[in-house]
Structure 1
Amino acid sequence: MSKRLIALFGIALLAFVVVACSNSSNKKEEESSTEAIEKNETRKIKDFYGEVTIPVNPQKILVTNSAYAEFLIEMGVPPQFAVVVPELEPDYRAPYLQEHGVEIIKSTQYEYNYEQLLSLSPDIIIIPGIGPEKKVYEELSKIAPTVALNTNTAMDKAMPELAELFDKKAQSEKVLAEFDQKAKEAKEKIHQAIGDKTVLVLRVEPKRYRYLGPKADDDVSRFFYETLGLKSPEIFKDATDWFVPFSLEILPDIKADYIFLEKRSMENYDSSESLKELEENSLWKNMDAVKNNHIFPLVTNNYIQAKGPIGSSLLIDYIVEKLVP
């Protein structure tokens, strides 16, 4: 090959490389520009308190309830941060969150370290609309756009709202359908095993005792008495309050075949003395459920706080294990 041809070939090759690099650079600039536009793009939605402007494509999601983190993970949108009260978290959830790359932000009950949350620079914050006071919402809104869902942590209500927020309707419906199928199968097993025998959910607190109202407008009541179809003792069958105080004097009238017994736990809260008084009470000892060893412990964290596709499924497994031989 002549020197002239070699020179021409070299020039052509150099030109090709320059053009390729230029195209690559332009492509990267276009992608970077598109990402910047998407990141800055916003939309307006309505939440529990009114209208709020949020990012279209938030990258750093912070939730103030770990149940919301579980909902989002199961829909394929793991948040970056979840605020938790370690003493109240269900046993499985911290490892579960860490497995999915969620950073756990430890907090105390009913309090937030706003400076700490500000340092995380979240793009969006999600909280329950039912439960926290409005001033909490207002303080969080100073940190980042904050969405208060129109519910608490009820899975059948919160998941569809979150799905709409993040365009994950199909994923949400799939998760809920799978859970409903599991619950339906458990309900059938329980009915075949115990028929119309009665089940009481009893909460022990400092200096008082409460039972779960079977007709309360609450997801815990619905879980036990609708989702799983458990039958309440006759004396309480029409109760519409969530947890209703009662006197131990009426224990002989309750006539429960099975009792799920919760020694309630909270921060700075001790129900040990009340539980001891209950277990030493002669009326309690004479109940059929007690004499038949049909008393099953409920851990507050693992049923009140464990709402979600994972937590509620674990609770179903536990209840089936106790009621089905």
Structure 2
Amino acid sequence: MSGKFFRLLSPLLAFLLLLSACGGSGETTNHSPSGNKAATAASASASESPSTGDSGFPKTVTHLKGETTIPAKPTKIVTTNFVAAEHLISLGIIPHGTASLEQLAIFKLYDEELNNNKIANLGTPLDYEAVVNAAPDLIISFDWDQADYGKLSAIAPTIVLDTTKTTNIFQETFVLLGEAINEHEALETFFSKYNATKEEAIAALKDNRLQGKTAIFMMASEKTNYLFTGLNTKVFYDELGFKAIPDLSAAQAIDLETLRKYDPEVIFIGEDYTNPTGAVEKLKDSAVWQTLTAVKNNHVYETDTSIFGPMARGQQYALEFMRDLQP
């Protein structure tokens, strides 16, 4: 797709669609803090000074922009994107503030934390004055934020995680973040549940005979039907057993005629989280939609679009969703 197309999208959505064209197949490793290569790299890049009982701090973390020393266990962490904020929540930490808080609030998975805690909204795009006013003791950013590291690091210690080298956008970046702030036990707890649910999902999909069926994952919007492949849906194909459609492995959008041409046996579909307009219902009303094999066989599953992205709790929910499917 053209650069102009991506400039029209939200930074996160554009980033996810770029990832969607990458890494559609290959070996998937067991991502747990004890076995994750990213966790090992994170540990190797962090030197811990002698602890004074403050959970391994001070600590120096090597990241995309250099080295940052975190002097003490942070209690007022702010993030420059809602995915990083989500990662904190998934570790049991309430972020002190985040940019694009309203985008996180779209997903019902986080209602409890957002409704019961005061989290500062740092603006969309990021408002640097709001960051100053939040008085954080640590700032966490991702490379795709394009936030001004100089400005941020002048406010508080700042780490910028590089997502460009990851082979699993949620698990590796999530682990890097958790390792950077020494949340080892929280990571172990999360992945213990994640891996157990994954085994349950694999068994359930085998039992209900959905394994081996061609499947696509799409998000409907007013003008474009986005297609998620590659890193975003790797676990569904490589581990849960759905079959990808090779000709669509690099596609980032799909129209109805192309959908009819490849006619997947299973369709997972969600509404555009950035601008919900009832696009899924409009698709259902189209004549082409009614001809699809997945529609005729009742193998169209509507879902929260959090399962398509890099959010840790969203990926846990994805496994629970797959485990509980009714064929």
Identity %: 24
Aligned to 1:142: 154
Q: Is the 8 A contact 1:47 1:149 kept in 2?
A: yes
Aligned to 1:5: none
Aligned to 1:183: 198
89, 93, 109: which is aligned to 1:92?
109
Q: Compared with structure 1, are the counterparts of its residues 107 and 211 closer, same or farther at alpha carbon in structure 2 (3 Å cutoff)?
A: same
Letter in 2 for 1:265: Y
Q: Compared with structure 1, are the counterparts of its residues 172 and 37 closer, same or farther at alpha carbon in structure 2 (3 Å cutoff)?
A: closer
Larger radius of gyration: 1
Q: Is the 8 A contact 1:64 1:83 kept in 2?
A: yes
Q: CA deviation at 1:279?
A: 3.1
Task: For 2:160 and 2:261, locate their aligned partners in 1 and report how far apart those are by CA, in whole Å.
Answer: 43
Q: CA deviation at 1:69?
A: 4.1
145, 159, 181: which is aligned to 1:132?
145
Task: For 1:273 and 1:117, locate their aligned partners in 2 and report how far apart those are by CA, in whole Å.
Answer: 36
> What runs of 5+ residues in structure 2 fail to find an aligned partner?
1-50
Aligned to 1:237: 246
List aligned pairs for 1:234-313, cutoff 5 A. Answer: 236-237=245-246, 239-241=248-250, 244-266=252-274, 269=275, 271-272=277-278, 276=282, 278-300=283-305, 302-304=306-308, 307-308=311-312, 310-313=313-316
Aligned to 1:120: 134
Matched residues, number = 270
Task: For 1:177 and 1:238, locate their aligned partners in 2 and report how far apart those are by CA, in whole Å.
Answer: 35
Letter in 1 for 2:73: N
Task: For 1:144 and 1:200, locate their aligned partners in 2 and report how far apart those are by CA, in whole Å.
Answer: 43
Letter in 2 for 1:46: T
Aligned to 2:46: none
Q: CA deviation at 1:63?
A: 2.6
Q: Deviation per CA, 1:181-228, whole angstroms, max 9, x where unpaired?
A: 211221121122123222221222332323222xx2x2x221322343
Aligned to 2:175: 160
Letter in 2 for 1:156: Q
List aligned pairs for 1:73-112, cutoff 5 A. Answer: 73-75=89-91, 78-89=94-105, 90-97=107-114, 103-109=118-124, 111-112=125-126
Q: Compared with structure 1, are the counterparts of its residues 223 and 97 closer, same or farther at alpha carbon in structure 2 (3 Å cutoff)?
A: farther
Q: Is the 8 A contact 1:204 1:271 kept in 2?
A: no
Q: Deviation per CA, 1:159-184, whole angstroms, max 9, x where unpaired?
A: 32123222233442342133112112
CA RMSD across the alignment:
3.3
Q: CA deviation at 1:126?
A: 0.8
Task: For 1:293 and 1:91, locate their aligned partners in 2 and report how far apart those are by CA, in whole Å.
Answer: 25
Task: For 1:156 and 1:58, locate their aligned partners in 2 and report how far apart those are by CA, in whole Å.
Answer: 22
Greater RCO (Cα-Cα under 8 Å, separation 6 or more): 2
Task: For 1:162 and 1:112, locate their aligned partners in 2 and report how far apart those are by CA, in whole Å.
Answer: 20
Q: Is the 8 A contact 1:65 1:84 kept in 2?
A: yes
TM-score calculated relative to the size of structure 2: 0.70
Task: For 1:162 and 1:144, locate their aligned partners in 2 and report how far apart those are by CA, in whole Å.
Answer: 17
Q: Compared with structure 1, are the counterparts of its residues 58 and 140 closer, same or farther at alpha carbon in structure 2 (3 Å cutoff)?
A: same
Q: Compared with structure 1, are the counterparts of its residues 286 and 117 closer, same or farther at alpha carbon in structure 2 (3 Å cutoff)?
A: same
Q: CA deviation at 1:122?
A: 0.6
Higher helix proportion, which one? 1
Aligned to 1:317: 320
Q: Compared with structure 1, are the counterparts of its residues 142 and 74 closer, same or farther at alpha carbon in structure 2 (3 Å cutoff)?
A: same
Task: For 2:90 and 2:127, locate their aligned partners in 1 and report how far apart those are by CA, in whole Å.
Answer: 28
SS at match of 1:51: strand
Does residue 206 of the first structure (1) align with residue 222 of the second (2)? yes
TM-score calculated relative to the size of structure 1: 0.70
Q: Is the 8 A contact 1:265 1:271 kept in 2?
A: no
> What runs of 5+ residues in structure 1 fail to find an aligned partner?
1-34
Q: CA deviation at 1:67?
A: 4.2
